[in-house]
Amino acid sequence: MTHETLKVTWTDGLCRIALDRPDVGNAINTAMVEELGRVLARCEAEPGEGEKPISVVVIEGGAETFCAGGDFEAVAENGTAGDPGPLYDIWLKLAEGPFVSVCLVKGRVNAGGVGFVAACDIVIAEKTATFALSELLFGLFPACVLPFLIRRTGRQRAHYMTLMTRPVSAPDALASGLVDVIAENGEAALRQHLARLRHLQKPAIARYKTYMAGASGDPAKDRGRALAANREIFSDPKVLADIRRYVSDLTFPWED
């Protein structure tokens, strides 16, 4: 694949996607959304012969700006922001797709850029990163970002961030739950995470994320789904074979 707005690398079950519109702060436009859709579709698909399934997807931006949000120049020129559905579906894929999504943040994140962060399973931020929702300053509000942000931070923190419109520091984002890890060197922290995440098998990731997407957090309400999921897991021949192999040989599933 060739890309106009992204830099994409594929290595050993890992897909790294770098937003690549540096002249406009990696602002989101139609081409970027379309290209992201195609890349994530390939990540979801069954691998080709000799290829390893994609189990981890990393989203990253530039050193100074991760993503400045929507492309205001395009809105000013066209008189419309276009259909928000495809971008929302990108974030939904990051949140619920059959891979672990990791967001690596360096520098500034604004508006729609926060949607990428909030949608990912794991967020690693360097200490200089900042996060802001500036929409209300322009008479807008982050309608599509908020469902993902509320899931991560809770309703009141998302509400406060939206109303204040000012940048939130990386430590404050960590305290709110928007960020999982703060690091001096984001690349080094990413490597540490990948060393563990690459042991996970794609079918297990898919099954787990599907379950989590429907979990309410209420033990009474979730009882039926929890029991059904547990029974399904322990009736999977591959799972049982891996357990038996570990018991007999002390060999983990990823070991030859």
Active-site annotation holds for 180: no
Catalytic residue, candidates 35, 60, 121, 135: 135
Active-site annotation holds for 135: yes
Partnered with residue 181 across adjacent β-strands are 124
Return all residues near 230 (Cβ < 8 A) that are at least 6 apart.
Answer: none
Distance between CA 249 and CA 208 in Å, rounded?
26
Asked if residues 179 and 125 have their Cβ atoms less than 8 Å apart, the reply is: yes
Strand ranges for the chain from DSSP E: 6-11, 14-19, 56-60, 65-67, 100-105, 108-110, 122-126, 130-132, 168-169, 181-183
Catalytic residue, candidates 60, 71, 121, 126: 71
Asked if residues 207 and 218 have their Cβ atoms less than 8 Å apart, the reply is: no
Q: Among all residues, which ones are annotated catalytic? A: 71, 135
